[in-house]
């Protein structure tokens, strides 16, 4: 029997409409989702936290509590970037531990924990914190293709995660690069070497995702990530209903009811139409992007490159940048191309081409990768490039978070005027300026300040 994790409440709308689905759009369908019999509902984490505060004027913690209130039977799952949590830098261990404690206390059952470099040292604190709180810690191996990535490396990473206490392993294919027969071999190797459930996550960007899932399931994969059909395909996941129908009456039968799933699909169809009409859902993200397979670059990263080149009036250099990306990636030690390394490698490739000289301009994020501030890269950084960028600075070889002093007490002191719940400390820790504007908005709502006095778009308030 294969199981399904439904992603419509998190990754599906993150991938298709930049994480703009509101909680009031979710509430009417939550109990129906709860009655399906999914392995879990992925409902939080990833970009949802940032998007709630930055764009939707929602408290992400209240969103989680609301979903938990309506979902009583199904496990709730979230995505967490290890020592990065849901932000874009490493945080001190006390912040990481407190965040995990509050996530579980507010309703999360399963935490999928990954690191952009597959540096397991950046995952260990989160796994331990999750286990301490009674949560299910899912260790993650980010799938990528390079001269140094192979079955042996992926299996060794998975073994390390299990030894740290991971309750299950997820193969996270963020770019849609995992091909069907490669998936079969990888899942088979993992099942032979670790004795915990294996889950596979991919995106339909390259057009192979559903086939990849079938071969992974045949190799013994326990759970796959799918999205209800109106919010599936393109840069999202394969459709739930198609997977359920394909496996019906086989030994992998999911046991899920197509008629019940159809009711959920009917709910999301008008929502999808609304997103299309508003422009939130761009038809460009719904097709197959073969460039993903040719250049081994995530679709979202490609569109970001085009945007950067337009800003520099250098769209004609697109092909040059595509050829430069693998060179930068090799120089930087073959990091998997996932947030934040995909943005860092892509931006550096654009700068190398536009400036007409490699590494003439180096953003602080590139320097941080080369210095080791994000952790240990899969292969050593090119020593010549490292010396050129760091000059006399020495690279970091320890776990990066070992260099960060405890932060919670200082953060609480900085934002105490806004404190209404303990979780506010964490919102501020991750996104200080964004959270502060949200807190001001919340205060304006609480004291019923004249709405004409509030610029909701930019969150500028009279207090």
Within 10 angstroms of residue 382's Cβ, the number of other Cβ atoms is: 17
Tokens of 49: 């936290």
Q: Which of 68-72, 141-145, 441-445 has the lowest mean pLDDT?
A: 441-445
- CATH of the domain spanning 3-278: 3.20.20.70
Name the more confident of 281 and 305: 281
pLDDT average, residue stretch 20-30: 97
pLDDT at residue 446, as a whole number: 81
Cβ-in-10-Å burial (0-12, 13-18, 19+) of 330 comes to middle
Q: Are 143 and 172 in contact (CB under 8 A)?
A: yes
Tokens of 313: 């009036």
> Residue 453 — very low, low, confident or very high, per pLDDT cuts 50/70/90?
low
Angle (deg, nearest 10), helices 423-430 and 432-446 = 140
How far is 288 from 191, CA to CA, in rounded Å? Answer: 31
In this predicted structure, the answer to whether residue 56 has a pLDDT above a threshold of 90 is yes
In this predicted structure, the answer to whether residue 306 has a pLDDT above a threshold of 90 is no
- Backbone phi and psi for residue 210, each to the nearest 5 degrees, phi listed first: -65, -40
Cβ-in-10-Å burial (0-12, 13-18, 19+) of 276 comes to middle
**Residues 6 or more apart from 462 whose CB is under 8 A from it?**
444, 449, 453, 454
* Nearest C-alpha neighbor of 378 from the set 173, 194, 115, 49: 115
**Residue that is written with structure tokens 């990888």 in the block:** 186
CATH of 297-397, one of 3.90.1150.10, 3.30.450.40, 1.10.1660.10, 1.10.472.90: 1.10.472.90
In this predicted structure, the answer to whether residue 164 has a pLDDT above a threshold of 50 is yes
In this predicted structure, the answer to whether residue 299 has a pLDDT above a threshold of 90 is no
Scored b (16 or more CB within 10 A) or e, 19-44 reads bbbebeebeebbeebbbbebbbbbbb
pLDDT at residue 141, as a whole number: 98
In this predicted structure, the answer to whether residue 456 has a pLDDT above a threshold of 60 is no
> Residue 462 — very low, low, confident or very high, per pLDDT cuts 50/70/90?
very low
pLDDT in tens, 350-398: 999 999 999 999 999 999 999 999 999 999 999 999 999 999 999 999 9
Across the chain, what does the average pLDDT equal?
94
Angle (deg, nearest 10), helices 23-34 and 60-70 = 30
3-state DSSP call for residue 236? coil
Q: Which helix (H) or strand (E) holds 437?
A: helix 432-446
pLDDT at residue 371, as a whole number: 97
**Domain extents for the chain?**
3-278, 297-397, 408-453
pLDDT at residue 450, as a whole number: 60
pLDDT average, residue stretch 237-246: 98
- Give 218's Cβ-side CA count (13 Å radius): 13
How far is 237 from 35, CA to CA, in rounded Å? Answer: 21
Q: Are 207 and 288 in contact (CB under 8 A)?
A: yes
pLDDT average, residue stretch 32-51: 97
């Amino acid at each position: 029997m294969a199981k399904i994790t439904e992603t419509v409440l998190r990754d599906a709308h993150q991938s298709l409409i930049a994480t703009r689905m509101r909680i009031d759009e979710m509430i009417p369908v939550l109990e129906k989702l709860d009655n399906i019999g999914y392995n879990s509902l992925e409902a939080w984490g990833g970009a949802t936290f940032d998007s709630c505060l930055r764009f939707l004027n929602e408290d992400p913690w209240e969103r989680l509590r609301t979903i938990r209130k309506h979902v009583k039977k199904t496990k709730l799952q979230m995505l967490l970037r290890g020592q990065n949590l849901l932000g874009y830098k490493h945080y001190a261990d006390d912040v990481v531990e407190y965040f995990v404690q509050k996530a579980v206390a507010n309703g999360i059952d399963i935490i999928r924990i990954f690191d952009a470099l597959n540096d397991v040292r950046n995952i260990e604190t989160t796994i331990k914190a999750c286990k301490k709180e009674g949560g299910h810690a899912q260790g993650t191996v980010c799938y990528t293709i390079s001269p140094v990535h192979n079955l042996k490396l992926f299996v060794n990473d998975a073994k390390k995660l299990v030894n740290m206490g991971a309750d299950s392993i997820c193969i996270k294919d963020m770019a849609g690069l995992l091909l069907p027969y490669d998936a079969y071999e990888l899942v088979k190797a993992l099942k032979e070497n670790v004795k915990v459930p294996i889950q596979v996550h991919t995106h339909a960007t390259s057009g192979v995702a559903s086939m990849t899932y079938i071969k992974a399931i045949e190799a013994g994969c326990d759970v796959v990530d799918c999205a209800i059909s109106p919010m599936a395909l393109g840069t999202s996941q394969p459709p739930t209903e198609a997977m359920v129908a394909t496996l019906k009456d086989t030994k992998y039968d999911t046991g899920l009811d197509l008629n019940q799933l159809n009711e959920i699909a009917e709910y999301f169809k008008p929502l999808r139409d609304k997103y299309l009409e508003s422009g939130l859902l761009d038809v460009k993200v719904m097709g197959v992007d073969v460039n993903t397979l040719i250049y081994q670059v995530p679709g979202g990263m490609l569109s970001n490159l085009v945007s950067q080149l337009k800003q520099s009036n250098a769209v004609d250099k697109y092909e040059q940048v595509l050829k430069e990306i693998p060179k930068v990636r090799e120089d930087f030690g073959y990091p998997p191309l996932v947030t934040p390394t995909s943005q860092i490698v892509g931006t550096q490739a654009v700068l190398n081409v536009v400036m007409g000289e490699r590494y003439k301009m180096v953003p602080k994020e590139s320097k941080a990768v080369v210095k080791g501030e994000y952790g240990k890269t899969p292969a050593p950084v090119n020593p010549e490039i490292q010396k050129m960028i760091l000059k006399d600075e020495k690279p970091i070889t320890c776990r990066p978070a070992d260099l960060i002093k405890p932060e919670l007490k200082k953060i609480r002191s900085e934002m105490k005027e806004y404190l209404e719940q303990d979780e506010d400390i964490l919102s501020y820790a991750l996104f200080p300026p964004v959270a502060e504007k949200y807190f001001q908005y919340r205060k304006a709502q609480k004291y019923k300040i004249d709405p004409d006095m509030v610029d909701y778009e930019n969150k500028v308030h009279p207090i």
